[in-house]
Chain A
Amino acid sequence: MAEEKVKLEWEINKKTSWLGTSFKELYLYKDLLFSLVRKEFLSSYQQTLLGPFWVLLQPILTVFTSLLIFHKIIGVPTEGVPPLLYYLAGITLWNLFSDIFLGTSITFTQNVLVFNKVYFPRIIVPLSVVLLSGLRFLIQLVLFFIALTYYYLAGKVVIPVNTLLLAIPVIITTAGISLGAGLVFSIFTAKYRDFLGLLQVILRLLLFVCPIFYPMSIVPGKLKWLMNLNPLSAQFELYRYALLGKGQFTADQVLYSGLFMVVLLAGGMLLFNKTADRLVDVI
């Protein structure tokens, strides 16, 4: 009997682990990860005329809308940066955040049918959302650099070569916060659909509490605390500082959002791993 026990490779029981699946198992499913990314990417452009161009078209249209509203009508200052560049930077980073947050928070509700019929490490699904959103973001980043080069050649901006690489930690922190929040929300939305409605409200609120269409410098002193509380604020300022050389932030704020990211992401991952295998009974 003892001999036989040794030969057994796996066990299914009621315990779920905080750490979830091993990296070895995740690695076994790496093809699934890429095939999910491919599936989502391809399927979002089926039966469209412009196809993948929507990746670029969407931010361009948003930029022009905000140009009209915030620049022409309201007249929000853009710290001497051409407004188009200013908005493009903010909007692409925001898209990254909202894509990941929305995409991951509906992990369970969107995939009930699949989760009910086949097993794979559930974390693959949110990871595929992150990869896909990252891919979209990179494409949009190229668009940003094209615009930046244009304005540079026109002599309207200076490219801050020294700080450009600072954008990388900003992107990672923003993606981390949105993934962490998305994972936590995915568990809530799985059991209580009320959170799906809440999601939209939160996103809309955040959109205006983040310095996307306006600089931190014009926020009145009384409301500064709200901006400081938002871990994303510093990231947007830092991002513009890195790419355009204009931004207002303190080391404390940056540290705060970095720490916020680590805690939220770790917490979200652990919670997701612990509950994912049980949620199938309630979705």
Chain B
Amino acid sequence: MIQIENLSKLYRLGTIGSGTFKRDLNNWLRGIFRKNSDSPARLRETGENAFAGKDHLWALRNVTFDIKEGEVCGIIGRNGAGKSTLLKVLSKITRPTEGFVRGRGKISSLLEIGTGFHADLSGRENIFISGSMLGMKKTEIKKKFDEIVEFSGIEQFLDTPVKRYSSGMYVRLAFGVAAHLEPDILIVDEVLAVGDAEFQKKCMGKMKDVSHQKGRTILFVSHNLQAVNNLCSKAIWLQKGSIHAMGETQMVVNRYLGAFQKKMWKREWGSPREAPGNDWLRILSVELIPHLPNPMAPIDIRTPLTVRFRFHNFNNQIHLSANLVLFSLAGDCIFDVPSVSGDFNEGVVEGECTIPGRFLNDGSYYFSLFFLKDTSRTIFEYEECLHFDVEDHRENIHWYDKWVGAVRPHFPFTLRNGNVSNNGHGALDTRRHLL
């Protein structure tokens, strides 16, 4: 178990050179006469917000939380939010500027995989070096040696220097050593970012084992929100060094996603002059309406989306239609849906299109609208009118890698037991499906 109270960490910015040397001397001399002239406490008093002056940065600020025994806690946040600093303090690599961490049990940290590996030495030697560096005893490593070799699948290359390993082999060996640590508290930073999908699955499996069966406490930092969702019972969202949200994983992850989704869901124009358009028509508003279970939830692959738009048509007796085109952020066209065409007189025209849930894959997208006359001549293109992100959602799937495909439709797809005779359940099931 770990108790963290008021943990703060201040970093000095800038390079170390003659300037710092002068300041070091200055502080040292002043320190002799007056205690703590440039102390963090003083800086804290002077700096009101997260930044204490332009040459100092609070990487962590008043972070307080507890982790109970056997709890698996995920830490999320954008780059530079202080996640890694937190892990560094917890694993005793760097000291906090203020506050403290108290706890019970042996901590092992995996901030990197392959720590202490020496490229010139064989896999066998490196297992012992890396293992002992991570805090294992020699007898422990010996006991687990075969298991590690088997896990990483490098038997054949045990006596080859690791510099000749393929990067995959290297990573497997490195994680193999780490995975066989037996601490009471495990601190893991982004290790899943390496290796192929097959291997990631193995790692996740191992971590699940450790937490569920052996009841270990795990602190897990990752950008892979699927992994956090799947592994952790509790999540902490760090922002600018402070805790922004904390609690049940799904809730925190959803709030996090909601806050950072690229949003351009609604556009409206007060006066037609500023509105996009031409002599044919002027746009009045475009809006993306996601059908969310609650307003805090992010758009994920299950969410049905409605696009609604209004425009002013300047011509009488015109045969109009619109096309709604979806592009991925990379610019690939996902689909192009035409509206039903119709005859209109001058005035406001409204359009609406709904994309069902469980159709789009996760990713970032934008919509463009095209307006046509007589279903053939483009009279106005309104490109990139709406931006949105679709988050991933997986249930009962132990695959954590990116889901491939432009779309991810939910078609009926079943597997049947082929051993059952034709007039058995199999046939019945088929019939039911057809109905």
Contacts and interface: CB of A to CB of B under 8 A. Distances in A.
Contact of B93 (A31, A119, A192): A119
Contacts of B285: none
A120 B133 contact: yes
Interface stretch (A50-58, A89-97, A220-228, A273-281): A273-281
Contact of B115 (A47, A114, A191): A114
Given A35-B138, A46-B121, A119-B109, A114 B94 contact: no
A49 interface: no
A13 B137 contact: no
Interface residues of B, number: 44
A32 B135 CA distance: 8
Given A32-B132, A47-B120, A191-B16, A12 B96 contact: yes
Interface string B204-217: 00000000000000
B41 to A, nearest CB: 11
B101 interface: yes
Interface in A23-53: 29, 31-32, 34-36, 38-39, 42-43, 46-47
Interface residues of A, number: 36
B102 A117 contact: no
Contact of A8 (B3, B95, B136): B3
A15 to B, nearest CB: 8
A47 B96 CA distance: 43
Nearest to A280: B94
Interface in B100-134: 100-105, 109, 111-112, 115-116, 118, 120-121, 125, 128-129, 132-134
B23 to A, nearest CB: 12
Given A42-B121, A282-B16, A120 B135 contact: yes
Contact of B89 (A9, A12, A43, A116): A12
A14 B97 CA distance: 6
B260 interface: no
A277 B89 CA distance: 11
B413 to A, nearest CB: 44
B134 A46 contact: no
Given A8-B104, A116-B93, A46 B120 contact: yes
Given A7-B104, A39-B121, A39-B125, A114 B161 contact: no
B269 interface: no
B99 interface: yes
A242 B95 CA distance: 48
A3 interface: no
A115 interface: yes
22 contacts: A12-B89, A12-B90, A12-B102, A13-B99, A16-B95, A31-B136, A35-B138, A42-B125, A43-B121, A114-B115, A115-B93, A116-B111, A117-B111, A118-B109, A119-B92, A120-B133, A192-B21, A277-B92, A277-B95, A278-B95, A280-B94, A282-B16
Given A12-B92, A277-B92, A280-B94, 10 more contacts: A8-B102, A9-B103, A9-B104, A12-B102, A31-B132, A35-B138, A117-B109, A118-B93, A118-B111, A118-B134
Interface of A: 7-14, 16, 29, 31-32, 34-36, 38-39, 42-43, 46-47, 113-120, 191-192, 277-278, 280-282
Q: Sort A-B residue pairs by CB-CB distance and give the 7 closest, nearest first.
A: A46-B120, A119-B92, A13-B100, A35-B132, A12-B101, A32-B132, A31-B138
